[in-house]
Amino acid sequence: MKNKTILSSVLAATMMLATFTGCGSNNQDAFDTQVTDIQSSEENVVANESTEMPGFDADAVIGVTLPWLGTQNWVEAKEMFAEELAKEGYKPLVEAADQTVTLQQQQIKSMIEAGAKAIVIGPVDSAQLADVIDEAKASGIYIIGYDRLLESTAGVDALVQYGSIETGKLQAEALVQGLKEKKGNSPYNIELFGGGHADPNSPNFFNGAMEVLQPLVDDGTIVIESGQTDFIQCATADWNNAKAQARMEELLSTYYTDKEIDGVLCPNDGIARACITACENAGKETPVVSGLDAENDSVQWIWQGRQYSTIAKPTDKLVKRTVEVINSLRDGKGLPDTDVKVENGVKEVPVYELTPVVVTKENEKEVFANDPLRMELLQD
């Protein structure tokens, strides 16, 4: 502890002073008084440090608000948070906001009124939650971002997620690998899709992928016929699968009437399936398509050869890591150690990152060996 180190140094200096000025009774009395004062100050500093992040009761209310239940991973998160928090003895209050900022704001306010000691937030649009998060923090509530960074607020204590830049890189690397395996020699015609504009992970996924793809665009290995290479151009509003399919259909009818599309970078499995469906409906050969979240349908499509890859980010591990952080705060131990921090526009937020895994047909059974529900999908 920084303050403790400073006080220890002062104590050492005082002892040296006593040595040089002799050990007479007056000097010794003064020295003893100084030591007592310093020890008392040090105890106060330690006490103050321990109260900076005080613990709370084991049966406390813990709030969780998720952005929506429109994809499998969020449905799983809602169920698992309720189960894991109850197992720890907490009173869980788990909600989903149906992609509506005002509803999520109301949910957080209700959790404050319910006396929650910690609130886990998977934001719909984190930039619009700053005021209510600051209100929660002023009430002494711990705030933990789940899967998505809480931006523009000093009220957030931590973020638990799979590395978003790394996820994007893995998506692109899998896409390139699939192009080489399935489509022969370059150049390869591909198109790019991004996630929802309001999700802070979306540009990270996209930018991570472009770190891999841009050099291949520059050297001609990859060709993007539409010329749409900016995240804003490629983003999919609200992560809406129907909007992604409509854009894919437009791209095909505009740029691919007389040529094949070899691959599509897709930010999640729902959009991947939408793009594949658009290509199949247009009579195109199935392109190499990336994805994310290892949704059941895509796990099966990969096994069948319709989708090339996904990225597994097991929800159970993410939820359990979040609960571990809550337990540490409950026990008065503060936040667990981490070397990772991310700037949210106001402060550096400690991040607890998990590692995602690329899934293709080649390694599906290995990745899901301990997941009986997904293993049932891998039938010949």
CATH at 305: 3.40.50.2300
Q: Residues 10, 93: one domain?
A: no
Helix (H, G, I), strand (E, B) or coil at 294: coil
Instruction: State how far the Cα of 359 lies from the Cα of 226, in Å rounded to an integer.
Output: 28
What is the pLDDT confidence band of residue 53, given thresholds at 50, 70 and 90? Answer: confident
Mean local confidence (pLDDT), 275-302 = 98
- Residue 50 clears pLDDT 80, i.e. is over it: no
- Residue 113 in any domain: the answer is yes
Instruction: State how far the Cα of 102 lies from the Cα of 335, in Å rounded to an integer.
Output: 30
Which range of residues forms the domain containing residue 15? 2-52
- Residue 2 clears pLDDT 60, i.e. is over it: no
Q: Which two tokens stand for residue 47?
A: 């006490």
Instruction: State how far the Cα of 177 lies from the Cα of 335, in Å rounded to an integer.
Output: 39
Q: Which of 12-26, 129-143, 155-169 has the lowest mean pLDDT?
A: 12-26
Q: Residues 368, 221: one domain?
A: yes
Q: What's this model's pTM, rounded to 2 decimal places?
A: 0.84
* CB atoms closer than 10 angstroms to residue 204: 22
- Residue 380 in any domain: the answer is no
Q: Residues 169, 299: one domain?
A: yes
Per the structure, the count of domains in the chain is 3
Q: What percent of the chain has pLDDT over 90?
A: 85
Q: Residues 181, 328: one domain?
A: no
Q: What percent of the chain has pLDDT over 70?
A: 86
pLDDT score for 54: 87
pLDDT score for 94: 98
Q: Residues 308, 332: one domain?
A: no
Contacts 24+ apart (CB under 8 A), 39-43: 39/11, 41/7, 42/4, 42/7, 42/8, 42/11
Tens digit of pLDDT for each residue in 79-122?
A: 999 999 999 999 999 999 999 999 999 999 999 999 999 999 99
Q: Residues 204, 293: one domain?
A: yes
- Residue 35 clears pLDDT 70, i.e. is over it: no
